[in-house]
Structure 1
Amino acid sequence: MQKQVKALGKKIIGPTRLRAYRNKGIKGLLGLNDKKLRVGFIGCGTHALQNLYPALRYLDVELKAVCAKTESSAKRVGGLFGVRWYIDYHALLDKEEIDAVLVAVNGDMHASICQAAMEAGCHVFVEKPPARTLKEIKQLQETSKRTNKQLMVGFQKRFAPTYQKVKEHLDTESLGTPTLLRMQFIVGPQADDQDVLDSIGIHHIDLAQYFFGPIKNIKVENYSYNGQETYALLLRFENNALGTIHISSHQTWNQPNERVEVYGEKHSMIVDNMINLTLRKLTKERPGIPSLTNETRWQPNFSIPSDENQTLFLNGFVYELRHFIESILTSKPCTSNINDSHSTYQWIEYIQNNKRD
């Protein structure tokens, strides 16, 4: 994706200039000094080790320390990266000279860790959910504002190249006035203590507002069976466009499970499973008359072993962390921040309060 980002009056090319990015680093491209951003990582679980730690090698950061709940995990991951390790995040924040922390632990702990990190003078990237209640999210908003520290929430789908391309077309109004948004995320069973809306579907509540703006109202239908949930949501946005979101944990993980369709009064875009992108333009041809110019398709070229063809990039993990770092370095508010999350969690709470028992 040929997205261009402007920062400090200079033009920085995105994914296609990854080699230049590696050679110069983000600070070099921004015209800043060569000192790397110092970070600590709180969390050593499966998601962190599969998707976040590996992304650090593409970023201009210096990992100083890690923290986990158990000594065995902390020691193992600390040894893997050759850094100091802790089992108490307060000790990491007190002893390490760091600029930011990345947080990916059990969601019940996120709010308290974020509060402590910002009070300690650190910018924070935290996986969703940043908190369990709207009251806690409000407290995080107030702390971020008072301490002047960035608090970014990990809604990485915003940063997937296909969804970034959709956002680009919406921002430039090349699709025309937005009219309809259709989303589905159909997955396999969730763990006993998880709700598919809170753990998975929340990405699409966030993505819907990222694309079409604030939601005005939502009508909720749901079906509960065998400990799993299916939701059908009808949305009206503040701009009067409509949307539908279908979310279910009644299927399997071993199938294509995600689809997003965006319609304007001129053209439309479709994203299948985050990697297949289609732009459909209106045609004046009569039905039944072949047209070779109304549809453009894109998908990754997996036969070429480039960095951008990896899941870390295609799912948005590298790009979301890069955005977090750029926001700190340029002192510009990050997108997907705690203020954005407040609206998303308001609607999650509304849906949960209005579903059938």
Structure 2
Amino acid sequence: MTRLKVGVIGCGSIAKHRHFVEYAANPNVEIIAVCDIVEDRAEEMAKTYGAKAYTDYEKLLRTEDLDAVSICLPNYLHAPVSILALNAGMHVLCEKPMATSREEAENMILAANENGKKLMIGHNQRFVPSHQKAKQFIQSGEVGKIYSFRTTFGHGGPEAWSADGRDSWFFEKEKAFIGAMGDLGVHKADLMRYLLGEEFSDVVAFVETSAKGDTDVDDNAVCVLKTESGIIGTLAASWAYNAKEDNSTIIYGEKAILRLEDDPKYSLIVQYTTGEVVNYELGGIQTNESGGQTTTHVIDHFVESILEDKEPLISGEEGMKSLEVILDALESSETRKRSTVKG
């Protein structure tokens, strides 16, 4: 079988530690080209993976005959570069958040549809074993009616792991557009939509810049969300959890409570109303700290979607619905009013 020819545009930390590693581990893939505005960074990845280095993504897209590309660029470039790649006839895996506005997201989806290409957004939380197991419990009725939830994603901030440290684009509003809510909050919005199997209808949010100096992007946010069926819960996203990362979710149901990634040993704990407690060791969640899972499964799913010509689990449409929750949280915080989710 012919291997997929892929390129990676953007050679920062997410590309270096996730995309390159996972593409290289997939037997159906050949890394052909890499691109980064920092020439040394592009050259390093090109040498490591036997690819050609570029510093201009437009030249890469014009020159190389690729099947697919990963877009691992600052947020403001996600939509324009994805659209260029789709129009060049390539499948696209774009990092989250997929865009900085609904209009950009819609244009990405349109470009994918017009060119008959896959567009997948890198929301990796759906592939975490504890999250998939929890979804099975919810769908089977094991948990009964869902009443509420609490989901959190926080760490000490991108300066600890970004390729550029404190000088990273993450802290520049014109490039990032959004801070912790785009970096972390959108992951949890996507996860809760996936687990609950329904959309959010309302959001009230406080989105603040309180932990980091010299930046105007958000670094601490708490949202109250309500689904179409009336499930209410909270979502927190923060770059202020300095001592330890928190990537936990708790779901409160009629028959049981599900604790996901809330215990150092057991990735899923089910506490039944009968008093029974069942602990599951299902493997770690991906993390910027040591000891996390070694693969996010995102790349393998993207490759499989192309080879088997099937819709990716996190399509452009799915990515946009998760983005809309975050955009409405921003609107709520700015207006100090409840925002109705537009999707």
Pick from 296, 300, 304: which aligns with 1:322? Answer: 300
Moved more, 114-123 or 230-239: 230-239
Runs of 4+ in 1 over 6 A off after TM superposition: 308-313
Q: Which string of whole-angstrom CA distances, capped at 9 and with x for unpartnered residues, describes residues 204-241 of structure 1?
A: 11111111120011122355535464333222111222
Distance 1:246 1:116 in 2: 34
Is the contact between residue 111 and residue 130 of structure 1 (CA under 8 Å) also seen in structure 2? Answer: yes
Aligned to 2:124: 156
Pick from 17, 34, 40: which aligns with 2:7? Answer: 40
Residues 149/274 of structure 1: CA separation in 2 closer, same or farther (3 Å cut): farther
Measured after TM superposition, the shift of residue 245 of structure 1 is: 1.5
Is the contact between residue 157 and residue 316 of structure 1 (CA under 8 Å) also seen in structure 2? Answer: no
Residues 112/173 of structure 1: CA separation in 2 closer, same or farther (3 Å cut): same
Match status 1:259 vs 2:253 = no
Aligned to 2:281: 299
Measured after TM superposition, the shift of residue 180 of structure 1 is: 1.7
Measured after TM superposition, the shift of residue 87 of structure 1 is: 1.6
Measured after TM superposition, the shift of residue 175 of structure 1 is: 1.9
Q: Percent identity?
A: 24
Aligned to 1:200: 184
Match status 1:244 vs 2:234 = yes
Report the structure number with the largest CA radius of gyration: 1
Residues 235/309 of structure 1: CA separation in 2 closer, same or farther (3 Å cut): closer
Aligned to 1:24: none
Q: Which string of whole-angstrom CA distances, capped at 9 and with x for unpartnered residues, describes residues 75-100 of structure 1?
A: 22111111112122222222222211
Aligned to 2:341: none
Give 1:210's aligned amino acid.
Answer: Y
Counterpart mapping for 1:1-357 below 5 A: 34-59=1-26, 60-189=28-157, 191=171, 193=173, 195-212=179-196, 213-222=198-207, 224-225=209-210, 227=212, 229-252=219-242, 254-272=243-261, 276-284=266-274, 294-299=276-281, 315=293, 317-355=295-333
Q: Which structure ranks higher in relative contact order (CA pairs < 8 Å, sequence separation ≥ 6)? A: 2
Give 2:327's aligned amino acid.
Answer: E
User: TM-score, normalized by length of structure 1?
Assistant: 0.78
User: TM-score, normalized by length of structure 2?
Assistant: 0.81
Residues 98/225 of structure 1: CA separation in 2 closer, same or farther (3 Å cut): closer
Residues 274/99 of structure 1: CA separation in 2 closer, same or farther (3 Å cut): farther
Q: Which string of whole-angstrom CA distances, capped at 9 and with x for unpartnered residues, describes residues 112-162 of structure 1?
A: 111111111110001112222211111111111111111111111111122
**How many residues were matched structurally?**
310
Give 1:225's aligned amino acid.
Answer: S
Residues 279/90 of structure 1: CA separation in 2 closer, same or farther (3 Å cut): same
Is the contact between residue 154 and residue 184 of structure 2 (CA under 8 Å) also seen in structure 1? Answer: no
Give me the CA root mean square deviation. 2.8
Distance 1:178 1:247 in 2: 22
Is the contact between residue 267 and residue 279 of structure 1 (CA under 8 Å) also seen in structure 2? Answer: no
Aligned to 1:30: none
Q: Which string of whole-angstrom CA distances, capped at 9 and with x for unpartnered residues, describes residues 259-282 of structure 1?
A: 201233222311125973234253
Distance 1:271 1:62 in 2: 35
Gaps in structure 1 of 5+ consecutive residues? 1-33, 286-293, 303-307
Distance 1:123 1:343 in 2: 20
Residues 322/311 of structure 1: CA separation in 2 closer, same or farther (3 Å cut): farther
Distance 2:144 2:316 in 1: 30
